[in-house]
Structure formats: structure tokens, C-alpha cells
Amino acid sequence: MSGAHPDHGVEAVQSGNDPRVEHRIEIAGNCPCPFGVTACVAFRASLPFKAAAVCVASTALLGDAVGHVHQMMIAGNFAAGNAGVPFWTDVIVMMLAIVLLAVAWRQHEDVL
């Protein structure tokens, strides 16, 4: 979840004259912005829109979690910034969003 702490993500990818660094800094600092805007729009939107928003955000969080697991298994990176709060936040937020969407969908079907 580099979006919660974009400075941490930026510091983690700075490495001299590597042309990929600029792209990584952009992703670490600006990637959460579309998710926030979508969440604000979804607040008043239809349930299918909310489902799409949850699907996209959950997929991104799953990708983050897989990246953390990869770092833990391959690089042995069990630092707090990889295996601690960022990893568990990715997993818990993804699961919570899916569960809350399922509850909302079930209540929506009961109304129809």
C-alpha cells in the first residue's frame, strides 16, 4: 500500500539515473488517486458500479499482496515495511471490501 505512504515508496525506488525510476515514482505517488475518486463516485452510484470498483481495487490489492509474498519468499524481506502492516492491510482491506459488497448485494436482492 504505497499510496498510504507515497514518500516511503518514492524512497524505495530511487536509484540514480535509472530511466524506470521516474515511472516508479509516479506509480508510488499517484496510483491511489483513481481508486479514491472511484470510491467517492461509487458512494452514490449503482450497485453494479460498486461491484466493478471493488473488483478493480481488490485486484490491485491482491497484486500488492502477491508482490509482498514474493519479496518475503524470494528475497527474504520480512521487514515491517513489507511483511508487516502494508501486507496485512492489502489482504484485510481486499477481503473486507468483498464481504461488504456481498452483504450489500444480498440486501439489494431482498429489496427487489
Q: Which residues contact 92 (CB under 8 A, 6 or more apart)?
A: none
Q: How far is it, in rounded angstroms, from Cα 19 to Cα 49?
A: 37
Q: How far is it, in rounded angstroms, from Cα 94 to Cα 110?
A: 25
What pLDDT is stored for residue 64 in this prediction?
87
What pLDDT is stored for residue 97 in this prediction?
94
Mean pLDDT of the chain: 78
Q: How far is it, in rounded angstroms, from Cα 3 to Cα 15?
A: 20
Q: Which residues contact 10 (CB under 8 A, 6 or more apart)?
A: 25, 28, 29
What pLDDT is stored for residue 32 in this prediction?
74
Using 50, 70 and 90 to split pLDDT, how confident is the model at 9? very low
Query: By mean pLDDT, which of 17-26, 59-68, 97-106 is the weakest?
Result: 17-26
What pLDDT is stored for residue 106 in this prediction?
92
pLDDT tens profile 42-94: 989 999 999 999 999 999 899 889 988 998 999 898 988 888 998 999 999 99
